[in-house]
């Protein structure tokens, strides 16, 4: 097979690394250009997590998902920009500069898989891999007007993913339409014994866009305080369309939304403080000064290698896990997380899927949000799916102020097929 040549005009800074000659082969993804988020290991291709601390790191092995892409003939054309280690909602926290939103380059593309979303939205690639710990596939999909799926926890192997918060995150597909997301999902979801959370539940599915008799739960909290009324109106319109196609809309409550965001931020920072301990300036990155006492070079390397947001989260997580505070923060967050799961269990006794907006607003202006707390608040609608481990998709459903809005559909554990079907129904209904 001839190699795929790739020389994009990367005006949105979607890529950290591009490969001008990408190998391809026979298979379901033969000749298709696929971009891979830069926290997913690629053998022989630098993998930075958009962090200085991984400067010069070239993985000696492929992540399981990368092996699968190669087996199906995909041409891996580059590694996409992201928030450092996945920590962020805008792709502004990158050591390689922010990615711009192709719908309006004065705006952020969302994050943390902003480079993957921009690469797909601008047509540089047909498909991309993202990762979603608290919304990082769905948020940029929503802000850039593409489709992105966070699969059920355990359905896609994370072997070779550089961990941020491993009890929450999944690798997932991003593309311009539901059919391509479904195709990529078929390739990605195979059992892998090298990831102990990987479950054997292959996804083999052709999207079925019929929603007749389907019960869609709409939690009031997803249209509550902080959600831009203009975004809410666009999403309601989309949900009504599904009703017009035969679905039944059931309004419901999700009381755990009151503490979901706090539970998420305590959990993800705690896990990050532990996962990022391995970056000690010895094993990765530029060689440490061995003449100096170890703790001095360790401190300096971490201070210089990590960006502000990453350092903030390591400190928050270390605090939450420390003796005397553990019960007050980490243990409480786990109890709250259980409440979120319980809410989903209860709701799924009476509805098939749950729908609402993906993000409370449209894409922010670059540099607009400087206060970490207000940034964290924008994740409120995406974190419940990660806390519970359920599948969730974002599908474009119109515009507000001329910018894309995403409809989020969450499903029951291991019913990724169902959220794909509902997204397909919406997509086809609109184009009909």
Q: Could you list the active site residues?
A: 37, 112, 136
Bridge partners (DSSP) listed for residue 365? 107
Q: By CB under 6 A, is residue 38 in contact with ligand GLN?
A: no
Q: By CB under 6 A, is residue 87 in contact with ligand GLN?
A: yes
Only segment of 25-33, 69-77, 128-136, 179-187 that touches ligand GLN (CB under 6 A): 128-136
Among 38, 104, 379, 421, binds ligand GLN (CB under 6 A): 379
Q: By CB under 6 A, is residue 170 in contact with ligand GLN?
A: no
Q: By CB under 6 A, is residue 112 in contact with ligand GLN?
A: yes
Residues in the interface with ligand GLN (CB under 6 A) total: 13
Site for ligand GLN in 45-74 (CB under 6 A): none
SS3 for the chain is CCCEECCCCCCCCCEEEECCEECCCCCCCCCCEEEEECCECECCECCCCCCHHHCCCCCCCCCHHHHHHHHCCCEEEEEECCCHHHCCCCCCCCCCCCCCECCECCECCCCCCHHHHHHHHCCCCCEEEEEECCCCCHHHHHHHCCEEEECCCCCCCCCCECCCCCCCCEEEEEECCHHHHHHHHHHHCCCCCCCCCCCCCCCCCCCCCCCCCCEEEEEHHHHCCCCCHHHHHHHHHHHHHHHHCCCEEEEECCCCHHHHHHHHHHHHHHHHHHHHHHCCCCCCCCCCCCCCCHHHHHHHHHHHHCCHHHHHHHHHHHHHHCCCCCHHHHHHHHHHHHHHHHHHHHHCCCCCEEEEECCCCCCCECCCCCCHHHHHHCCCCCHHHHHHCCCEEEEEEEEECCEEEEEEEEECCCCHHHHHHHHHHHHHHHHC
Closer by beta carbon to ligand GLN, 72 or else 271: 271
Q: By CB under 6 A, is residue 88 in contact with ligand GLN?
A: yes
Closer by beta carbon to ligand GLN, 85 or else 426: 85
Q: By CB under 6 A, is residue 268 in contact with ligand GLN?
A: yes
User: Shortest distance, CB of residue 344 to ligand GLN, whole angstroms?
Assistant: 18
Closer by beta carbon to ligand GLN, 40 or else 75: 40
Closer by beta carbon to ligand GLN, 166 or else 334: 166
Q: By CB under 6 A, is residue 134 in contact with ligand GLN?
A: yes
Closer by beta carbon to ligand GLN, 10 or else 132: 132
Only segment of 14-22, 49-57, 87-95, 96-104 that touches ligand GLN (CB under 6 A): 87-95
Bridge partners (DSSP) listed for residue 76? 34
User: Shortest distance, CB of residue 172 to ligand GLN, whole angstroms?
Assistant: 10
Site for ligand GLN in 403-432 (CB under 6 A): none
CA separation, residue 133 to residues 163, 389, 392 (Å): 10, 10, 12
Only segment of 131-139, 203-211, 282-290, 399-407 that touches ligand GLN (CB under 6 A): 131-139
Among 89, 116, 256, 394, binds ligand GLN (CB under 6 A): 89
Among 73, 109, 114, 135, binds ligand GLN (CB under 6 A): 135
Q: By CB under 6 A, is residue 142 in contact with ligand GLN?
A: no
Closer by beta carbon to ligand GLN, 36 or else 87: 87
Nearest to 354 by CA among 365, 345, 363: 345
Q: By CB under 6 A, is residue 86 in contact with ligand GLN?
A: yes
Only segment of 83-91, 219-227, 275-283, 415-423 that touches ligand GLN (CB under 6 A): 83-91
In this structure, the number of other CB atoms found within 10 A of the CB of residue 382 comes to 31
Q: By CB under 6 A, is residue 116 in contact with ligand GLN?
A: no
Q: By CB under 6 A, is residue 307 in contact with ligand GLN?
A: no
Site for ligand GLN in 287-306 (CB under 6 A): none
User: Shortest distance, CB of residue 169 to ligand GLN, whole angstroms?
Assistant: 7
Q: Footprint of ligand GLN on this chain (CB under 6 A)?
A: 86-89, 112, 132-136, 164, 268, 379
């Amino acid at each position: 097979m001839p190699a795929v040549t790739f020389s994009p005009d990367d005006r949105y800074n979607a890529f950290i690394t591009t490969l001008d000659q990408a190998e391809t082969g026979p298979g379901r993804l033969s000749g298709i250009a696929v971009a891979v988020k830069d926290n997913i290991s690629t053998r022989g291709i630098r993998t930075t997590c958009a962090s200085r601390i991984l400067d010069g790191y070239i993985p000696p092995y492929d992540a399981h998902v990368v092996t699968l892409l190669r087996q199906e003939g995909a041409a891996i054309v580059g590694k996409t920009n992201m928030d450092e280690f996945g920590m962020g909602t805008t792709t502004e926290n990158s050591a390689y500069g922010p990615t711009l939103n192709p719908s309006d380059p004065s705006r952020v593309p969302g994050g943390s898989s902003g480079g993957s979303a921009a690469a797909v939205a601008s047509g540089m690639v047909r498909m991309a891999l993202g990762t979603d710990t608290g919304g990082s596939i769905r948020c940029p999909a929503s802000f850039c007007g593409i489709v992105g799926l966070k699969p059920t926890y355990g359905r896609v192997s994370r072997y070779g993913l550089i961990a941020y918060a491993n009890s929450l995150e999944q690798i997932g597909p991003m593309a311009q339409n539901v059919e391509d997301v479904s195709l990529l999902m078929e390739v990605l979801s195979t059992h892998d014994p090298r990831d102990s959370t990987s479950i054997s539940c292959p996804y083999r599915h052709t999207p079925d866009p019929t929603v007749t008799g389907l019960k869609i739960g709409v939690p009031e909290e997803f249209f509550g305080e902080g959600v831009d009324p203009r975004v809410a109106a666009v999403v309601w319109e989309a949900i009504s369309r599904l009703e017009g196609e035969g679905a039944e809309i059931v309004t419901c409550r999700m009381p755990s939304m009151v503490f979901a965001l706090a539970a998420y931020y305590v959990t993800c920072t705690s896990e990050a403080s532990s996962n990022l301990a391995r970056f000690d300036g010895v094993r990765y990155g530029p060689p440490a000064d061995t003449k100096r006492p170890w703790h001095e070079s360790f401190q300096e390397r971490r201070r210089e290698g990590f960006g502000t947001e990453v350092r903030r989260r390591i400190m928050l997580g270390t605090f939450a896990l420390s003796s005397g505070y553990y019960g007050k923060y980490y243990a409480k967050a786990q109890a709250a997380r259980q409440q979120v799961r319980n809410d989903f269990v209860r709701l799924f006794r009476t509805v098939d899927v749950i729908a609402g907006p993906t993000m409370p607003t449209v894409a922010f202006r670059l540099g607009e949000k400087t206060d970490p707390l207000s940034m964290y608040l924008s994740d409120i609608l995406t974190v419940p799916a990660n806390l519970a481990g359920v599948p969730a998709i974002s599908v474009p459903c119109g515009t507000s102020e001329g910018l894309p809005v995403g409809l989020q559909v969450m499903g029951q554990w291991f019913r990724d097929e169902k959220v794909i079907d509902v997204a397909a129904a919406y997509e086809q209904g609109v184009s009909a």
